[in-house]
Structure 1
Amino acid sequence: MMLAYLPLIFIDSRFNQTIFFFVSGITGVTLGITITMNTLVAQRIVPEESLGTASAMITLGRTLGQTLAAGIFGLAFNMSLNSGLKKHPIIDQNMINQSIKGVYQSPLVVDEHTINQIILTGMHTVFSVTLILFVIVLIVNVADQKREVIK
């Protein structure tokens, strides 16, 4: 997933959206395999009387992770948008919101390009944070002294 997300940092507004379908496919397959394997491994290594608890803990961890990630990515996106708005005082939050909804029609091409750049920078920020999190997870997993193959 980290390699699939890497090109998303460098995209511009003329980028072919087909790559997003490719990245979404890789993300779906990777998460599907990971979640399934984690569930199966957890159910295999715990005693039979703890299967319910193990399954519940996996579900809780997955739900908390999604909630935390939404907060982190939302914060990164909003901070990036606010930074872009400070650099371009002629653009306001309402213009950004309308553009994201697809209903804003700027009378000036320069404004529309600036709005798109602010939004795109926000998306680049989110993808950068995602890659940083991937690297942190990779380092933590490689540094794990207690990792062993479960047969």
Structure 2
Amino acid sequence: MGKFRAMAIQYITEKLSDDGRMVIDACINEITYTHRTYNLYDSYGWCVYYDGYIKNMGFLSPYQRATDFKYWGKGDNKRPIFGRNEIKRFFEEYKATKGTFELVIAAAMPYAEILEEGGGRLKHKYRVISMSFQKLQELSAKYGGAYVVGLSKGRKI
């Protein structure tokens, strides 16, 4: 039973990883903003969890494309951040559901949500990652109507 279970977990992890890569690749082709530093690009990723633990994760590119960091925060809390570090931190801090598989798709730079919402001094909204929700809903049929939920600021909504 143990060997079969491990093989099944590995198989499902690989399938979900392939789906995560497909969703992220499709999303990047639909963005409406321009890459400047590539930090937002580097912050796109997917992660497969099983029983609350990371089984596999991946990114748009196997290597970090940004060469300059972005400063983020206010006052004494302002700090330099790189997109690749932000997505890794997001996945490590994410509280996955115990007892099941979970595929998480994210763009983890803090300003991704601001671009999506058209906040701050922006004149319009940009497509960053919101299109992944529909893609995941379409994908859920493949897994017997799997549950799809959105995230905002790292929390389920």
Tell me if both proteins adopt one fold, taking TM over 0.5 as the criterion. Answer: no
Going by fraction, where is strand more abundant, 1 or 2? Answer: 2
Going by fraction, where is helix more abundant, 1 or 2? Answer: 1
Larger radius of gyration: 1
- Measured against the shorter chain, the TM-score band is 0.3 to 0.5
* TM-score where L is the length of structure 2: 0.36
* TM-score where L is the length of structure 1: 0.37
